[in-house]
Amino acid sequence: MSVIKWTEALEIGIESLDVQHRFLIDVINELHLAVKHNEGNEVLLPMIEKLHDYADTHFSEEEELLEKHDFAGKLDHVQEHNEFIAKLDELKRKCESSGEALTIDIRNYLLSWFFHHIKVCDMEYKAFFQQIQVIAK
């Protein structure tokens, strides 16, 4: 069973960003299953790699747009993105050095990321983009 479901309310209105957000939701749901099935690092580490690729692509695309349209909250937003990458690196290092798959920790971190960053912070630039008519209301 999915832990998070995509709804229209999550849509930014920019196709590529929405596809990327959906991808993250898929990974969270996969991680949720991995927790249930007690999967080890052979499953977890490739997922962390996927998340890294996701973060590289998605964050640079968002940040380019925030820069282009001069979004006032850009610096804080970028800082959160950087923290996400640092957290992933930290969790990956811990998994590798202890041999223990920290699946629950990673899932929980991504869930809090989803509820805080995607549902709150990303929606702030969405509102701004609507206001300056970069995207439709």
43 vs 118, which CB is nearer to Fe ion? 118
Count of residues for the chain? 137
Cα three-residue angle 9-11-104, rounded to 5 degrees: 85
62 vs 103, which CB is nearer to Fe ion? 62
Nearest distance in Å: CB 8, Fe ion: 16
Positions in 16-75 near Fe ion (CB under 5 A) = 62
Amino acid at 128: F
Residue 122 binding Fe ion, by CB under 5 A: yes
Three-state DSSP at 99 gives coil
Residue 11 binding Fe ion, by CB under 5 A: no
Cβ-contact 117, 10 below 8 angstroms: no
Which residues make up the interface to Fe ion (CB under 5 A)?
Answer: 62, 122
